[in-house]
Structure 1
Amino acid sequence: MKRILLLSFIFTSLLVSCEDVIDVDLPDQDTRLVVNGLIRVDETEPYVPVEISLSLSSNFFEENVPTSAESVLITYEEIEDNVVINQGTSNLAETSPGSGVYVPDPNFSSDQRIPTTTLDRDYVYTLFIRHQGRLYLAQTKYVRTVPINSVRQGTGSLFGDNETEIIVNYTDQPDVDNYYLFDFGFGEYLVTEDEFYQGQEFEFSFFYEESFEPGTVLDISVMGSDQTFYNYMDQLIEQSGAFQGPFQTPVTTVRGNVFDVTDLDNIDVLDNVDQPEVFPLGYFALVQEEKAQVTIN
């Protein structure tokens, strides 16, 4: 479980325990396709590390089950005055049968990897998934982030001694609205926007609700985000709780940017049919990631 302190604002919660065990009948959920399409990019590498994971949603407290698709494809297009001026395609293949993990097909007749040089252009990236006879689509653009200036261990605490404070410092890019997704490891994520510190150096504390052995190295990263992905992760982090990744089945369904377009007559209008209950879960995002480490004293 994480606890977060931003500047001088402390958020607390009341924890109530009881000894009685209560059995709760939870309703069955419809099985849905779950798409883990968060692609983290290191711009110093020659290729984008494309990896799309597919699974089927489960009931409460159960793990999602990997699932195979008939086909998975990423296209990228640069459009100017409604005309495609540059384009490319990446055909994906499953790493092993039944894994549900898809990467650029190494056995294709041409190199299916996406060079990081494409990220310098204003491409729209579209993910197509054909699964169990249905067609799914998601679109995104590449979002950059800023480097982390420093990460250091603090000595503060919120509720007790069995905590570890990490202080993160970075400088926001001026003259543009920025959104950030921080990954603190152990399934711990944090989103923040620059509404109150645009263009400024900013520092905040993150509290792990545990202590670490001296010498433990913690990996921390920040990823770029647009407002839509920010809102999605904000809801999903809140609902998934501690010890779950952001692409597990949440308590309440959170819709991402992946759509079932099987029965649509115009994929540019994703709500033109009366099918409010036909949708997958998950998200497709292509973001820059900057990393830092801190060694626990």
Structure 2
Amino acid sequence: MKAYLTIIIALFAIVFTSCEDVIDVDVQTAPTRLTIEASLDWEKGTAGNNQTIKLSTSTPFFDTNSDTGVTGASVKVTNDTNGAEFIFADQNNGEYTTTDFVPILNQSYTLEVVYNGENYTATETLMPVVDIKEVTQSTENGFDDEILEVNIFFDDPADEDNFYLFRFKEEGDLLAEFEDFDDEFTNGREISWYYEKEEDEDTNTEEFTSGDVVDIDLYGISEAYYNYITILIEQSEGVGLFSATPVALKGNCINLDNRENYANGYFRVTQVVRTRYTFE
């Protein structure tokens, strides 16, 4: 009997000792890349002259370094029709700003960034956006007919392809939520769009209630940017049963000197309408 007890104790010792072994897992890391956040958004009713472009470098997933702003770069945007150049001044914190930008609807613009002796470029067209006609609340259009949602109404222009980006952010939330839409099946019709929040304890998300305030932005975007942002939104929502496997997502910023060393991010030029809604 003692022999059996000795064997059992020895086996337990081996098992628990093995549980303490440290397993090193090699995590793949991508090369450090320049990241360009160049969203030139012209809000209706404003001059649109104040614009900011942010430059940083990518970091490994587990890197805790938050100071990745790029300084010393050269940044400018050019009107491709009349050649007007808008120089973005280095603010020495990763931001480059101008107070002279001139937004023109349906105009093509080219971004040029020179960093570490390499030239990055991207071209986009400033797309118009329609006005929001009405904002209401209901419980009728969402997935759950017992919780509040905000409803946005606008008229889609007829006989043309239009692409939209919605940005919703409840007052007090850290991050905004984005949704994309194209008018392939609703061309020329009134569009009704809703946004609701379902309770989720894991993310501390709560349903809308009376008194909640949500900011709403509606952007007119190009087809190229629509294709990009659609994939980005899908990947940001995680991989589900029927989701595509996330892949490296390339924007429109090309390195003219070394094609393989492309930049992350996207250069977009959009018109946007903004409104705010308070739930009753």
* Residue correspondence of structure 1 range 5-154 to structure 2 within 5 A: 26-60=27-61, 65-78=68-81, 86-95=82-91, 97=92, 99-104=93-98, 113-116=100-103, 119-120=104-105, 123-154=107-138
Task: Pick the aligned partner of 1:167 from 151, 156, 165.
Answer: 151
Task: Pick the aligned partner of 2:215 from 213, 219, 225.
Answer: 219
Show the counterpart of 2:195: 206
Cα deviation 1:215-253 (Å, max 9, x = unaligned): 2321101101111000000001111238xxxxxxxx632
Residues 208, 69 of structure 1: alpha-carbon distance in 2 compared, 3 angstrom cutoff: farther
Task: Pick the aligned partner of 1:158 from 118, 143, 153.
Answer: 143
Greater helix percent: which structure?
A: 2
CA contact (8 A) 2:41 2:48 kept: no
Task: Pick the aligned partner of 2:179 from 173, 186, 190.
Answer: 190
Report which of the two structures shows the higher radius of gyration computed on alpha carbons: 2
Measured in 1, the distance between the counterparts of 2:138 and 2:110 equals 42
Measured in 2, the distance between the counterparts of 1:177 and 1:212 equals 33
Cα deviation 1:110-136 (Å, max 9, x = unaligned): xx60234xx05x532111111122110
Measured in 2, the distance between the counterparts of 1:279 and 1:47 equals 29
Residues 30, 173 of structure 1: alpha-carbon distance in 2 compared, 3 angstrom cutoff: same
Give the root-mean-square deviation of aligned CA atoms.
2.6
Count of residue correspondences: 237
Measured in 2, the distance between the counterparts of 1:41 and 1:62 equals 35
Residues 48, 253 of structure 1: alpha-carbon distance in 2 compared, 3 angstrom cutoff: farther
Residues 293, 47 of structure 1: alpha-carbon distance in 2 compared, 3 angstrom cutoff: closer
Show the counterpart of 2:254: 259
Q: Tell me the SS of whatever aligns to 2:85.
A: strand
Cα deviation 1:136-174 (Å, max 9, x = unaligned): 00111110111112222222553696x542222111011
CA contact (8 A) 1:41 1:49 kept: no
Cα deviation 1:186-217 (Å, max 9, x = unaligned): 32001100011100001132222322453232
For structure 2, the 5+ residue unaligned runs are 1-23, 170-174, 199-205, 239-245
The TM-score, its normalising length taken from structure 1, stands at 0.72
Measured in 1, the distance between the counterparts of 2:25 and 2:274 equals 42
Measured in 2, the distance between the counterparts of 1:149 and 1:143 equals 19
For structure 1, the 5+ residue unaligned runs are 1-22, 79-85, 105-111, 243-250, 264-274
% same residue: 29
| 1:282 and 2:278 aligned | no
Task: Pick the aligned partner of 1:233 from 219, 229, 234.
Answer: 229
Q: Tell me the SS of whatever aligns to 1:287.
A: strand
